[in-house]
A and B are shown apart, each in its own frame.
Chain A
Amino acid sequence: MDRIYLDHSATTPVSKEVIEVMMPCFTEVFGNGSSQHFHGREASKLVDIARKQVADAIGAKVSEIYFTSGGTESDNWVVRGVAEAYKTKGNHIITSMIEHPALLKTIEELTRSHGIEVTMLPISKEGFVCIDELKKAIRPTTILITVMAANNEIGTYQDIETIGKIAHDNKILFHTDAVQAVCSMPLDVVAQNIDFLSLSAHKFYGPKGVGVLYRKNGIKLGKHITGGEQERSMRAGTHNTAGIVGLGKAIEIAVRDRDKNNKYLSELRDYFVSEIHSKIENVYFNGTKSDKRMPSVANFSFEFIEGESILLRLDLVGISVSSGSACSSGSLEPSHSLLATGLPIELAHGSLRFSFGLSNTKKQVDYVVKSLVEITDNLRELSPLFARKEGGTFNV
């Protein structure tokens, strides 16, 4: 059975082009970039090239790029580093209700340990941050506004340029988690008023365990990891040369192929969405259908049935997807992003995220739709909620 992978928002395979440039870093160019000799200099050169590739991709300067271990670390660093560096200015952070846990959990911890106060901006039904609420939330003590560029569950793009402008008009720093966005959304840190930005290579066909924090020059930020002199002494630790080189190549390719990929993925996604709507009843599309969204994501709620059950039935027929159901999250809480859009708990419970990638085909979509028709039929037969809807004899 050829497996079908529809979970590219969780992670992507490393592309061949990327692997090719990474391989020599394990053998020939294995030096420690901090060493002065030939081996060290060769490794250091490759890291410099990658830094340039990242800077070019987001309109930044090379001196503004810091390599980290991934999106989670970059998000942690910004929040902790800004809270520390600006503690005499204030203690208030504004964020949104649909941020990644890497941000939300970090901010929550700082509210306990560092007296940080937080405002969580509400989200519209389609998944957008309310700009008016943002303006109202600003206080003299606000030090940071952090709103993600694209959401990892429903794929909505936020208007980061406007949010950044509001931040700057009020002399507040602006961070955006662009981990999901970078593949499809053009990023320009200057035009979009961005002071900090997080990236993670494994979301754009690069390796896992390597990411980026962009910090605009001249802005204060607490040191993150102390030790050696790497990353201008802000984030010490021997460079993960292969990972960094892979990240650099992967982002270069992502930008190079962006328009082509967006077209391919949105056509595939639109075909899938229309097939689902025409072949399955009582399904709801979560998020926006406007063009302010990632081309690769379709999030649906299947009424009367539960997400983990659908996910595992799909898995049995060779299809990998993810769910926002409470039952599939260790914590027994349904997806906070879906709930923030006002989706009722029962529907959040029956939600599935399909995220497409470059190797997916129309033929695969046909197989997935056919499987979903069978699985939803079968699980609905099993569901007491469905029976009730059909006018079954048993009443609650």
Chain B
Amino acid sequence: MYNEKVMQEFAAPKNVGFIEDADGVGKVGNASCGDIMEISMKIDDSGIITDAKFRTFGCAAAIATSSVATQMIIGKHIDSALNITNSDVVETLEGLPPQKIHCSVLAEEAIKDAIADYKAKKSL
């Protein structure tokens, strides 16, 4: 059902965990299947995401998209991280089965949620 790239990310996901002194934390749930994704980030003064980690309760697609999403945002400015869509994540994974596309939305939302949390804390 899943392609090789997805299975690779799922079998050995990167950036697993939680950053204790995170500057922004996003946590979102998936209404359609009850799954949860959490992303924590370190963001420097110029707005660059220097580190990101995730924890996910969900299917293989949810875990793979979390892993890819954290890799995609590390080193990016928050403004360009905000432009990342779920289709970008799916593309990086070289595709997901149709019934699993909604899992990738979780990643996009978690990133946006974490950056919103950062902005709120900084009162930006």
Contacts and interface: CB of A to CB of B under 8 A. Distances in A.
A21 interface: no
Nearest to A311: B60
B60 A384 contact: no
Given A382-B55, A384-B27, A385-B57, A392 B18 contact: yes
A198 B37 CA distance: 44
B99 A330 contact: yes
A349 B18 contact: no
B97 to A, nearest CB: 9
A308 B97 CA distance: 14
Given A326-B33, A396-B27, A312 B57 contact: no
Interface in B21-66: 25, 27, 32-38, 40, 55-63
Interface string B52-82: 0001111111110000000000000000000
B10 A393 contact: no
Given A326-B33, A328-B59, A345-B34, A381 B20 contact: no
Interface string A328-356: 10101000000000000110010000000
Q: Which of B18, B34, B56 has the most CB of A within 10 A?
A: B34
A308 to B, nearest CB: 4
A309 B55 CA distance: 13
A382 B16 contact: yes
B34 A383 contact: no
B13 interface: yes
A385 B36 CA distance: 8
A278 B59 CA distance: 26
A382 B32 contact: no
A49 interface: no
Contacts of A328: 59
B56 A346 contact: no
A338 B86 CA distance: 32
Contacts of A396: 27
Interface string A298-313: 0000001110110011
In this complex, the interface size class of chain A, counting residues with CB under 8 Å from chain B, is 20 to 34
Interface string A278-316: 000000000000000000000000001110110011001
Interface residues of B, number: 30
* Contact residues of A: prevailing secondary structure: helix
A387 interface: yes
Contacts of B40: 394
Contacts of A305: 57
B25 A394 contact: yes
Contact of A383 (B55, B60, B99): B55
Given A316-B11, A382-B13, A382-B16, A308 B36 contact: no
A255 to B, nearest CB: 38
Contacts of A326: 33-34
B34 A309 contact: no
Nearest to B103: A327
Interface in A349-393: 349, 381-385, 387, 392-393
A387 B16 CA distance: 12
Contacts of A382: 13, 16, 55-56, 63
Nearest to B66: A382
Given A312-B10, A384-B27, A306 B38 contact: no
B55 A384 contact: yes
Contacts of B16: 381-382
Contacts of B55: 382-384, 387
A306 B25 contact: no
B27 A346 contact: no
A269 B40 CA distance: 42
Given A330-B99, A332-B99, A392-B18, A384 B33 contact: no
A304 B60 CA distance: 15
A332 B33 contact: yes
Contacts of B35: 306, 327
B38 to A, nearest CB: 4
A330 to B, nearest CB: 6
Nearest to B100: A327
Contacts of A304: 57
A109 to B, nearest CB: 23
Interface string A115-138: 000000000000000000000000
Interface of A: 304-306, 308-309, 312-313, 316, 325-328, 330, 332, 345-346, 349, 381-385, 387, 392-394, 396
12 contacts: A304-B57, A309-B10, A312-B60, A316-B7, A327-B33, A327-B62, A330-B99, A346-B34, A382-B13, A383-B55, A387-B55, A394-B25
Q: When A and B form their complex, which 4 residue pairs have the shortest distance between CB atoms, in order from nearest?
A: A327-B59, A384-B55, A308-B59, A384-B38
